[in-house]
Amino acid sequence: MNAAGTTRAVGGKPSQNGGNRLRTIALLLLPATVLMLVFVAALVILLSYTLRPSVTVAHPLTLNAYARFLSDPYSRLLTRNTLVLGAVVTLGTLIVGYPTAYALARLRNPGLVLVVSLALFSPLLVSVVIRAYGWLVLFSNKGLINFALERLGLIREPLRLLYTPWSVDVSLIHILMPFMVFPIYSVLRQIDASMEEAAEDLGSGPWQTFRRVTWPLSLPGVIAGVQIVFSLCISAYVSPALLGGGHVLVLAPAIYQTTIDIDWPLAGVMTLALLLLSLLVLLAVNVLSRRIFAHEQTGRAGTAPASSRHPAIYGWLALVAAFMVLPIAIVVIDSFNSVAYSVFPPPGVSLRWYEHLFTAVDWRPALRNSLIVACSASVIAVGAGTLAAYAMARYVAKGRELVRVIFFGPFLVPRIGIGLAFFILMLKLRLYGSLLSLVAAHAVITLPFAAAIMSAAFVAVPRVFEESAMDLGAGPARTFLTVVVPQVAPAVLVSFVFVFIASLDELETSLFLVRPGNQTIPIAMLTYMFQYQDPTIAALASLLVGLSVLAVAAVVVLIRRGRVGNSLAASVSQT
């Protein structure tokens, strides 16, 4: 049947297979590499600007900007505040997040697990701007919190909650909570119940069992959570800018302000300082964790995690779920407010802000921009990430760690810094203000997430399926499309949704790349909020929340039915 096929390969040049392999790896890594080159180019240009005397003067090279940063007491204040903010928020998310992950991991009822995880993770689907706005409403002088405290007779005068450091802390703890809960939860789920049972069997009480067995085993999750939360926290822009009201002085908003003040060299140095803080903490935690984990600890498949029906578990989860949902719920309530300022309870119900939403501002250009950018960026990031992840999972053995570190670079550099770097690069390329610049930036930022999700998916597909397909006569491309892709289809869908939402909600980087009048949705909302603080934004937010809920429901239903993989496979295999 295949006699003709074999004639091509007579002779046996020893390098032929090796050459094919290299070509395959190169092709698979190419799209991701192009994205990374853009990223590196942007960073190099940013670095070169920190060595300039000023924005307009390129020569001679000078360390002037570094000297200014180091000698200025204001920069020192910014750095100290940033560190304190990062520490407080990281500790806060850990204190709330660990018990939450612990309780969630012990739930057995699948319906309940779904509801609680949706409550915990759904805030991720809602724009940072909207979540910050929710806290704005909650913390305002006539907001829910002051109202409740007055009703309880605890205070007579409204407390000044807004524009204080701790209002920023609370809103960031809320925003970053899922990033702490999720890694801890996934590690806790891999700890077999028999571990704790063994400890108890050996005479250790519940507290001792936790301290000496569960906690040490869950540390990898804690470490991952701490690293992610800290690095996201110190580069957050919206919360300090909106809830700090100019009183919370940290690096991220300062970088944006310094860029507007056309002191790019100093803004560049501040970015480096932020990056350095982020890397130092990452490194410190890594060194610490290496000392803790002298032995490899990995979860095995098929473990049966412990379960519990203790009322405290339900109580705590309800409390945290309420905390997570409250700022979003209050935004929806606020959208039906009849007056132009936030007050709880609203004096009346009206739809005026929905009317105002469609008459006052034309949101359509921003919406259109956001959709175009999100669609293009997700296709590019998921495509490049999928191919690169496949190359890493199947072909790259020795340099895998290196390749991984390189592709995860954009995750390590604070978003606000990527924004500044891309801003300068795009100016040079005369692409500033174009949607292409946004697409490029968003694809670079989301590449690590897409690659991470897809790597995990590819690792789970046994190699023997590919060998089997090749054995049956399918070439590498056909094998990839008809055998590998169908099996990772759910992961492709998940990473697509993830990247799409991340792009739709991206703000810190886009801030630098949009021209006034040619904005994306989150930036248009932020701009509106800086100008008018009326509930129009709440009406818009409510509509977006509704859309997100529908999208998530659709994905959940699709994955549950298991149709995604099958339908995709059927359509491909019919070719």
Partner 1 sequence: MTERVDGGAAGRPAVVQLEQVTKRYGSVLAVDDLSLEIRPGEFFSLLGPSGCGKSTTLRMIGGFERPSAGTIFIRGRPSNDVPAYKRDTNMVFQQLALFPHLDVYENVAFGLRAKRVASHQIGPRVERALELVALGPFRRRAVRSLSGGQQQRVAIARALVNEPAVLLLDEPLGALDLKLRLQMQLELKNLQRRIGTTFIYVTHDQIEALTMSDRIAVMNDGRLEQTGTGREIYDRPKTPFVAGFIGDTNLIEVVQRAPGRYVTPDGALTFALGDSGDRTTVSLRPERIRAGAPAKACAERTAGRVVDVVYVGADVQYVVAAGNTRLTVKTRGDQVFAAGEEVELGWQPSDPVAVGARR
Among 278, 260, 528, which Cα is nearest to 420's? 260
**Minimum distance of partner 1 from residue 554's CB (angstroms):** 21
Q: Return the residue matching tokens 């921009």.
A: 369
Is the Cβ of residue 18 or residue 246 nearer to partner 1 in the bound state? 18
Give yes or no for residue 100 binding partner 1 (CB under 8 A).
no
Q: How many helices (H) and strands (E) does the chain have?
A: 28, 0
Is the Cβ of residue 68 or residue 478 nearer to partner 1 in the bound state? 478
Q: Which of 186, 289, 482, 533 binds partner 1 (CB under 8 A)?
A: 482
Among 278, 301, 281, which Cα is nearest to 289's? 281
C-alpha to C-alpha distances, 138 to 28, 79, 281, 533, nearest whole angstrom: 49, 29, 32, 14
Q: Which of 72, 197, 401, 471 binds partner 1 (CB under 8 A)?
A: 471
Give yes or no for residue 24 binding partner 1 (CB under 8 A).
no
Site string for partner 1, 404-443 (x = CB under 8 A): ----------------------------------------
Identify which range of 131-139, 187-195, 308-316, 465-473 contacts partner 1 by CB under 8 A.
465-473
**Minimum distance of partner 1 from residue 248's CB (angstroms):** 52
Q: Among residue numbers 511 through 570, which ones bind partner 1 (CB under 8 A)?
A: 565-566, 569
Q: Which of 111, 311, 347, 475 binds partner 1 (CB under 8 A)?
A: 475
Q: Which of 41, 195, 329, 474 binds partner 1 (CB under 8 A)?
A: 474
Residue 101 near residue 181 (C-beta atoms within 8 A): yes
Is the Cβ of residue 78 or residue 489 nearer to partner 1 in the bound state? 489
**Minimum distance of partner 1 from residue 478's CB (angstroms):** 6
Q: Which of 154, 349, 397, 472 binds partner 1 (CB under 8 A)?
A: 472
- Cβ of 426: how many Cβ atoms within 10 Å? 22
Q: Which of 68, 356, 404, 478 binds partner 1 (CB under 8 A)?
A: 478
Give yes or no for residue 571 binding partner 1 (CB under 8 A).
no
Q: Which of 12, 110, 153, 347 binds partner 1 (CB under 8 A)?
A: 12
In angstroms, the CA 370 to CA 365 distance is 9
Residue 518's beta-bridge partner residues? 515
In angstroms, the CA 236 to CA 304 distance is 38
Give yes or no for residue 483 binding partner 1 (CB under 8 A).
yes
In angstroms, the CA 427 to CA 440 distance is 14
With a CB cutoff of 8 Å and minimum separation 6, the contacts of 341 are 140, 142, 533, 534
Is the Cβ of residue 18 or residue 205 nearer to partner 1 in the bound state? 18
**Minimum distance of partner 1 from residue 497's CB (angstroms):** 20
What is the C-alpha end-to-end distance of the chain, expressed in Å?
A: 21
The two tokens of residue 96 are 């709330």
**Minimum distance of partner 1 from residue 301's CB (angstroms):** 15
**Minimum distance of partner 1 from residue 400's CB (angstroms):** 17
In angstroms, the CA 446 to CA 503 distance is 8
**Minimum distance of partner 1 from residue 19's CB (angstroms):** 10
Give yes or no for residue 397 binding partner 1 (CB under 8 A).
no
**Minimum distance of partner 1 from residue 1's CB (angstroms):** 6
Give yes or no for residue 302 binding partner 1 (CB under 8 A).
no
In angstroms, the CA 533 to CA 341 distance is 7
Q: Which of 205, 348, 473, 546 binds partner 1 (CB under 8 A)?
A: 473
**Minimum distance of partner 1 from residue 459's CB (angstroms):** 16
In angstroms, the CA 501 to CA 41 distance is 26
**Minimum distance of partner 1 from residue 349's CB (angstroms):** 51
Question: For residues 502, 356, 163 and 521, what is the CA-based torsion angle, rounded to 10 degrees?
Answer: 20
**Minimum distance of partner 1 from residue 395's CB (angstroms):** 14
Cis peptide before 345 (omega within 30 of 0): yes
Annotate 512-542 with b (16+ C-beta within 10 A) or e (fewer).
bbbeeeebbbbbbbbebbeeebbbbbbbbbb
Q: Which of 158, 245, 465, 555 binds partner 1 (CB under 8 A)?
A: 465
Give yes or no for residue 469 binding partner 1 (CB under 8 A).
yes
In angstroms, the CA 333 to CA 327 distance is 10
Residue 515's beta-bridge partner residues? 518
Report the interface residues with partner 1, using CB under 8 A.
Answer: 1-3, 5-13, 16-17, 20, 462, 464-465, 467-476, 478-479, 482-483, 486-487, 565-566, 569, 573
